[in-house]
Amino acid sequence: MIQAQHRLWADLIFQPYLTWLFKRHFHTIQVLGTVPKIPTHLPLLLLPNHSTWWDGFFVYLLNKRIFRRTAYLMMLEEQLRKYRFFAKIGAYSIEPKHRQGIVESLEYTVGLLNQKTPLVSVFPQGQLLPWHTRPLDYKRGVEWILRKYGKPIAVLPLAMRTEFLGEKRPEVFFLFGEVNSFDADTFHGMDWLEKTESDLLDDLALRILRREEGQNLL
């Protein structure tokens, strides 16, 4: 697998470039609803849906503007081999077609969570799927991570959606779920987590339909 190799110079280059890309390609990028308070002493496991090529960049933006933690993102190894630079801003790889590769990446994730209050983001669907896909087809990796880590983790679901509305460029919307502190014994299970994300995506759709205004991150 390819491990993350955070480099300050990479952030200094990438952050302004990504801001320019976002302003060029999107009309607004909004957080709807409220941002939950994350326990500052716990590592944060951020769990978004995965429906666009931009999703990893959205996570990067949310961390820079809201969470401000050392962030890591699990990414398909095939893609990270093409874009090795992303390892220098926190991306690391998983090879979902090989069991040993999956286990290696999950064990690496547990190691990251043992660092000082990191943000680790994984896509429980494990693949790109349209936002309206039901069921979400969550894989079991989050459950494995919680069991191996063995200590409390702040778990935060995130719904993301991109829509063409009244502008030439699309608009991006985020909605956070409730943050829960889970360990292996208190976790409600993957079925619960998948239903929570499905309900959050439905809530986000209604908020967009009502044209709710949120915090614009651009």
| Tens digit of each residue's pLDDT (9 = 90 or more) over 104-154 | 999 999 999 999 999 999 999 999 899 899 999 999 999 999 999 999 999
How many alpha carbons lie under 13 Å from residue 122 in its C-beta half-sphere? 27
User: Is the residue at 3 inside a domain?
Assistant: no
User: Is the residue at 116 inside a domain?
Assistant: yes
User: Is the residue at 64 inside a domain?
Assistant: yes
Amino acid at 9: W
Helix, strand or coil, per DSSP, at residue 86: helix
Report helix angle 55-62 to 8-25, nearest 10.
Answer: 110
Q: 3-state DSSP: the chain helix, strand, coil percent, rounded to 5?
A: 40, 20, 40
User: Is the residue at 15 inside a domain?
Assistant: yes
pLDDT at residue 67, as a whole number: 97
Residues of the chain with pLDDT under 70: none
Q: Residue 11: which H helix or E strand, with range?
A: helix 8-25
Range of the domain at 12: 8-216
- Would you give the DSSP letter of residue 35? P
User: Is the residue at 118 inside a domain?
Assistant: yes
> Quick check: 3 and 94 in contact, CB under 8 A?
no
Q: Using CA atoms, how far apart are residues 79 and 185, in angstroms rounded to an integer?
A: 34
Q: Which two tokens stand for residue 18?
A: 């990504």
pLDDT at residue 124, as a whole number: 97
Q: Using CA atoms, how far apart are residues 191 and 13, in angstroms rounded to an integer?
A: 40
Partners of residue 72 on adjacent β-strands? 120
Amino acid at 127: Q
pLDDT at residue 113, as a whole number: 97
pLDDT at residue 131, as a whole number: 87
User: Is the residue at 113 inside a domain?
Assistant: yes
User: Is the residue at 1 inside a domain?
Assistant: no
Only one residue has tokens 């077609």, namely 97
User: Is the residue at 134 inside a domain?
Assistant: yes
> Quick check: 10 and 85 in contact, CB under 8 A?
yes
pLDDT at residue 218, as a whole number: 87
> Quick check: 59 and 46 in contact, CB under 8 A?
yes
Number of domains in the chain: 1
- What CATH number corresponds to the domain at position 107? 3.40.1130.10
